[in-house]
Amino acid sequence: MYNIKCDVAIVGGGPAGLAAAVAAKKEGAEKVLIIERDNALGGILQQCIHPGFGLTRFGEELTGPEYYSRFVTEAMDLGVEYILNSMVLEIDEANNQVICANSEYGLTCIDAGSIVLAMGCRERTRANIVVPGTRPAGLYTAGSAQRLINRQNIMVGKSVVILGSGDIGMIMARRMTLEGAKVVMVVELMDYLAGLTRNRVQCLDDFGIPLKLSHTITRIVGNERVEGVYVAPVDENKKPIKEKEEFVECDTVLFSVGLIPENEISNKAGIVIDKVTNGPKVNQYMQTSIPSIFACGNVVHVNDLVDNVSAESEQAGKYAAQYAMGTLAKSEGNANLVTGNNVRYLCPQSIEKTGKDEKVSVYFRVLKPEFNVKLVARCGDKVIAQKREFRVNPGEMNHVNIPLAEVEGNEITVEVIKEG
Amino acid sequence: MNKAKAVVIGAGAVGCAIARELSKYCIDVVVIDKNDDVGGCASKSNSAIIHTGYDAAPGTLESQLVVAANPMYDEIVEALDIPFKRVGAILPAITDEQFEQLPQIKEKAFKNHVYDIEFKSGKELLEMEPNLNPNVKGGLYIPRESLIDPFIFVQALAENANANGAEFMLNAKVIDIKTENGKVKSVVTTKGEVEADYVINSAGLYCDEIAEMVGKADYKVVARKGQFYILDKNTSCQVERIVLPIPTKVTKGKLMCPTIHGNMLVGPTAEDQDSKVDKSTSTEGLDSIAADVRNLVPNVNLRDTITQYSGLRPNRNPEGLHFDMYDDLKGYINLSGVRSTGLTLSVSMGKYVVQQMLMSGADLVLKDNFISERKGIIKFSEQTREVQDKLIKENPLYGNIICRCETITEAEILDAIHRPLGARTVDAVKRRVRAGMGRCQAGFCGPKVIEILARELGVSTDEINKNIDGSYMVSGTTR
């Protein structure tokens, strides 16, 4: 077996892996190696040719390829190394090794000081959400269709119904329209938008594409190719109202019904996974339950904005480098983060106390939309951080900055409180 | 016009088993199927179980054939490299009423010569299957009920028949059967006419339509739909054996079992319908599975489903498995009512058909050069690290993993496409190597498989079908 030694091994060369690599190198790790399964770096951003990336980080609007190219350039300048076309088969956590398959080298074993997981996520499918009906050609997840169109120049169909108002779904509604397809409608089970409001405006409203909230696809029709779908409104329990079912003709259905962090190799390695995020439980260093393994980006929890992913991944890269060099701060005990009112999950899930005067950003999603709220972090009755928000929405991530010096006890509760 | 002696209509498990058996003899064999691939109908969507026949109606042909077939599998899966595992089945009795039924079920098993069926106490069953309903009162254990890969099974039979000279005409629909002087003469298909001294109708769902072509349709096929769930290999609540419900007067009920590849399979429903093409799943059907299976395995987690499908059993009206030869139509053999047990009894049916032909005076001479073995596609994911490394060194395409969920390499996909009776469609690739059968359901590998198929077959991507004609995957190129 081919052997490579490195200080920090990074699984995945998408935006998370790239930001982690750059940060690890900057922190002083000598040999940083990205292991990428695709034939190029950039990850899913390679197929995200639309603008909208980088507003937070760079203060300008970039396309996906423009966004990751900046990181690739920086990584190369810093001397980050990478191997492409390499699928990781296994992480041997006992020996701190990553084993991957590569056509050129054969099976390859990478010995690392620390490992950063940056595998991203995959899409929930039609079958995951159990849409009944037939199984014809013409059913795609929005991301697969995006890959076919943007990377392979292949058009998936001519008339499209999209289930789910996630960001990829809305972006694909616009993309399919620009490619000459008719997007009949976007159907959303919930009574609110799943993705970002700006995508609704720019991708649906601007193109006159109808959005049907509180509706769902009840059946898929067609034996060879999709012939259409039945669409029905849902009641307050999200059950379709059969009598109001209508047939909608189309030859393609795209599913944008959620993303799942891709943790097959994390699971195999025995890393503790959060049942809500479906990603590894981490502390503020983005360190998993196995101390030598860090994780960042969508493999930890699904982000809305790549800018967030980059920021979070820099933390992972920085601390993974410190771990490899033996300089990671000793913990003075830890505090668990607990979800309070209208909070679905928190990331990180715990905080190591260091005694230093620094702030830790804790990201979270709400369970339901609310207006005029206060985001509060408290230890017992003592409020340690708070901020006002005009609106919170499950589709848009929130965060609070927790001052480490203020943390008391071993629990921090984060909650959303309705004001006035 | 092609010259052939025996024409088998239908390339399902039964048709391919008959073709393989006939290919042991000096006789030209042609298998005709309207689908693009072998095993493209009922043989691909069932519970993938090789039965013992413990619950067949004693004394029937179906009982004889199933009971005879089960022991034949040890040898055939070895020779033809087919994934197969004897995991055994259990029938737990949850209620007192069910418990009282156990002696009759056991007695019936004995009438079917299944003597290895055993009574187990509730405690023993819970030790065997900790996820069973804790109220289980006792039950029966049937050790030889087994799991198979139904796709590879049919492909293996077909490939081996093909290696021994049997010809396969796929994408060819039978339009007519010509007869002359009380004998079959030829089979007319959408791809031309084939002469025949023997015509064997193993067309499954469509066997009544074929029989009608020769005026022998004294029955109707009634499609009985069965809906299933497949669960993720990681699902928290699993079973190791086939867990069968105690049958009621109305239905055999819904089971839970592992698949040969480690997923969980839950189902099926039993719904008679007029259509022979409608394989849709329904909310009502899927919900009924959930309700029933929770009686057996209360914690089954159907939210871990990675796909749902349905298959159509070719039930017969009037009921029962039938083998028919006719004095007034020499050379014509009609099989009908080959339903749930069809997968199991295909191998014994192959032998039975040939034996009946011999007994009716067919001039069949055994070959002395029959190739009895067939090698399957090497599964990269099942090899040791050392072997994997060696495979990549020998063929770098083993280092290119196309399907992330099932760890399927490009080399395996190319083997699936280029071997005899190779894959021409996305589903045919999937049924040979499992690319796209994992939890992401081809989200990752689908776009790649379309390109590989187009490249290897030398066609454009818009000519690649999911399965049958008209099931085009993509509509063209971008602007």
Mutate to test the interface with A, among B35, B276, B309, B401 (most CBs of A within 10 A): B401
B245 and B138 in one domain?
A: yes
Search chain A and give the residue with CA nearest B397: A103
Q: Where does a domain end: B295, B328, B359?
A: B359
B29 and B18 in one domain?
A: yes
* Cα–Cα distance for residue pair B234/B258, rounded to 1 Å: 12
* Cα–Cα distance for residue pair B270/B113, rounded to 1 Å: 27
Q: What residues of B are in contact with residue A252 (Cβ under 8 Å)?
A: 475
**Would you say residue B57 lies in a domain?**
no
B343 and B407 in one domain?
A: no
What CATH code is carried by the domain that includes residue B257? 3.30.9.10
**Would you say residue B58 lies in a domain?**
no
Closest CA relative to residue A39, chosen from A98, A71, A83, A79: A83
Give the pLDDT score at B252. Answer: 75
Q: Please list the ranges in chain B whose pLDDT falls under 70.
A: 1-4, 250
**Would you say residue B107 lies in a domain?**
yes
- Tell me if B242 sits within 8 A of B87, measured CB to CB: yes
* Cα–Cα distance for residue pair B325/B397, rounded to 1 Å: 51
* Cα–Cα distance for residue pair B200/B219, rounded to 1 Å: 17
Scan for tokens 């399927």, then name that residue: B408
B120 and B136 in one domain?
A: yes
* Cα–Cα distance for residue pair A87/B399, rounded to 1 Å: 8
Cβ–Cβ gap A37/B472 under 8 Å: no
For the whole model, what pTM was predicted? 0.96
Q: Where does a domain end: B260, B295, B314?
A: B314
Q: Where does a domain end: B359, B388, B421?
A: B359
- Name the H helices within A239-348: 264-269, 306-325
* Cα–Cα distance for residue pair B296/B308, rounded to 1 Å: 20
* Cα–Cα distance for residue pair A391/A374, rounded to 1 Å: 10
Q: Which residues make beta-bridge pairs with A365?
A: A345
Cβ–Cβ gap A127/B477 under 8 Å: no
Q: Residue B56: how many CB atoms within 10 A of its CB?
A: 24
Please name the residues in contact with A110: beta carbons below 8 A apart, sequence gap of 6 or more: A3, A4, A5, A6, A9, A33, A35, A97, A98, A99, A100
B157 and B90 in one domain?
A: no
Search chain B and give the residue with CA nearest A151: B447
What ipTM, to 2 d.p.?
0.95
* Cα–Cα distance for residue pair A53/A66, rounded to 1 Å: 9
**Would you say residue B55 lies in a domain?**
no
- A198, containing H or E segment: helix A197-199
B8 and B139 in one domain?
A: no
Give the pLDDT score at B4. Answer: 54
B438 and B330 in one domain?
A: no
Q: Domain range holding B142?
A: 84-149+222-314
Query: Strand, helix or coil at A377?
Result: strand
Query: Strand, helix or coil at A9?
Result: strand
B291 and B156 in one domain?
A: no
Cβ–Cβ gap B446/A218 under 8 Å: no
Closest CA relative to residue A214, chosen from A194, A196, A187, A195: A187
Domain count of the fold of chain B: 3
What CATH code is carried by the domain that includes residue B444? 1.10.10
User: Nearest by CB to B280, which of A89, A133, A264?
Assistant: A133
**Would you say residue B164 lies in a domain?**
yes
B205 and B144 in one domain?
A: no
State CA A203 to chain mean position distance. Answer: 20
- Tell me if A301 sits within 8 A of A345, measured CB to CB: yes
B447 and B385 in one domain?
A: yes
Give the pLDDT score at B250. Answer: 66
Closest CA relative to residue B339, chosen from B324, B322, B351, B321: B321
* Cα–Cα distance for residue pair A132/A135, rounded to 1 Å: 9
Query: B96 phi and psi, to 5 degrees?
Result: -60, -40
* Tens place of pLDDT per residue across chain A (420 aa): 999 999 999 999 999 999 999 999 999 999 999 999 999 999 999 999 999 999 999 999 999 999 999 999 999 999 999 999 999 999 999 999 999 999 999 999 999 999 999 999 999 999 999 999 999 999 999 999 999 999 999 999 999 999 999 999 999 999 999 999 999 999 999 999 999 899 999 999 999 999 999 999 999 999 999 999 999 999 999 999 999 999 999 999 999 999 999 999 999 999 999 999 999 999 999 999 999 999 999 999 999 899 999 999 999 999 999 999 999 998 888 999 999 999 999 999 999 998 788 999 999 999 999 999 999 999 999 999 999 999 999 988 999 999 999 999 999 999 999 987
* Cα–Cα distance for residue pair A385/A383, rounded to 1 Å: 6
Q: How many CB pairs under 8 A join A and B?
A: 147
Search chain B and give the residue with CA nearest A89: B407
**Would you say residue B332 lies in a domain?**
yes
Closest CA relative to residue A316, chosen from A4, A27, A6: A27
Q: What is the CA radius of gyration of chain A?
A: 22
- Tell me if A336 sits within 8 A of A320, measured CB to CB: no
Residue A177 at interface with chain B, using a CB cutoff of 8 Å: no
Q: Which of residues 66-125 of A touch B (CB under 8 A)?
A: 85, 87, 89, 99, 101-107, 122-123, 125
**Would you say residue B364 lies in a domain?**
no
Search chain A and give the residue with CA nearest B399: A103
Cβ–Cβ gap A155/B307 under 8 Å: no
User: Nearest by CB to B306, which of A102, A127, A133?
Assistant: A127
- Angle at the Cα of B277 from the Cα atoms of B272 and B282, rounded to 5 degrees: 60
B233 and B296 in one domain?
A: yes
Residue B361 buriedness (CB in 10 A; 0-12 / 13-18 / 19+): exposed
Cβ–Cβ gap A154/B441 under 8 Å: no
What CATH code is carried by the domain that includes residue B191? 3.50.50.60
- Angle at the Cα of B47 from the Cα atoms of B46 and B49, rounded to 5 degrees: 120
Please name the residues in contact with A168: beta carbons below 8 A apart, sequence gap of 6 or more: A123, A142, A143, A146, A195, A256
Distance from the A219 Cα atom to the nearest Cα atom in chain B, whole angstroms: 8
Please name the residues in contact with B215: beta carbons below 8 A apart, sequence gap of 6 or more: none
Residue A245 at interface with chain B, using a CB cutoff of 8 Å: no
SS3 assignment for chain B: CECCCEEEECCCHHHHHHHHHHCCECCCEEEECCCCCCCCCHHHCCCCEECCCCCCCCCCHHHHHHHHHHHHHHHHHHHHCCCEECCCEEEEECCHHHHHHHHHHHHHHHHCCCCCCEEEEHHHHHHHCCCCCCCCCEEEEECCCEEECHHHHHHHHHHHHHHCCCEEECCCCEEEEEEECCEEEEEEECCEEEECCEEEECCHHHHHHHHHHCCCCCCEEEEEEEEEEEECCCCCCCCCCEECCCCCCCCCCCEEEECCCCCEEEECCCEEECCCCCCCECHHHHHHHHHHHHHHCCCCCHHHEEEEEEEEEEEEECCCCEEEEECCEEEEEEEECCCCCHHHHHHHHHHHHHHHHHHCCCCCCECCCCCCCCCCCCCHHHCCHHHHHHHHHHCHHHHCEEECCCCEEHHHHHHHHHCCCCCCCHHHHHHHHCCCCCCCCCCCCHHHHHHHHHHHHCCCHHHCECCCCCCECCCEECC
Residues B47, B48, B54, B59: what is their CA dihedral angle, to the nearest 10 degrees?
100
B226 and B144 in one domain?
A: yes
SS3 assignment for B155-213: HHHHHHHHHCCCEEECCCCEEEEEEECCEEEEEEECCEEEECCEEEECCHHHHHHHHHH
**Would you say residue B52 lies in a domain?**
no
Largest CA distance in chain B: 70
User: Nearest by CB to B396, which of A104, A137, A148?
Assistant: A104
